[in-house]
Amino acid sequence: MPWHYIDPGKPQQNAFIESFNGSLRDELLNEEIFDSLDDARRKLALWRYDDNTVRPHSSLENQTPLQARRVLEQSEGSAPGARAPDGEAEYPDLTCRLSS
């Protein structure tokens, strides 16, 4: 499959990353002064944690990503269709040894 590059001056062709870049710029890069590369990494890690677990997102019906994930897992399971069947499961005999 060939690459599809974004045309110069057309950021709307990749709106998701442009939205992320805008949030990162507004909430972190324009607000913080970084003393060192380690300081920048630490502050970025804190921002990423906050963005991925604490801050509600309008695209998730104003739930945090963690809340939305829990709701999804409760309704569908962590892997839809991978739940164990109801009733007694059929497992092979696990009493045999692999080596003597």
Q: Is residue 46 part of a domain?
A: yes
Domain count, the chain: 1
Three-state SS at 57: strand
| CA atoms of 98 and 44, how far apart (whole Å) | 48
Q: Is residue 95 part of a domain?
A: no
CB count within 10 Å of CB 24 equals 15
Q: Is residue 5 part of a domain?
A: no
Q: Is residue 1 part of a domain?
A: no
Q: Is residue 81 part of a domain?
A: no
Q: Is residue 54 part of a domain?
A: yes
Tens place of pLDDT per residue across the chain (100 aa): 777 777 777 777 777 788 888 889 999 999 999 999 999 999 999 999 988 888 888 888 899 888 888 888 888 765 555 555 555 545 444 444 444 4
pTM equals 0.57
Domain span at 56: 11-74
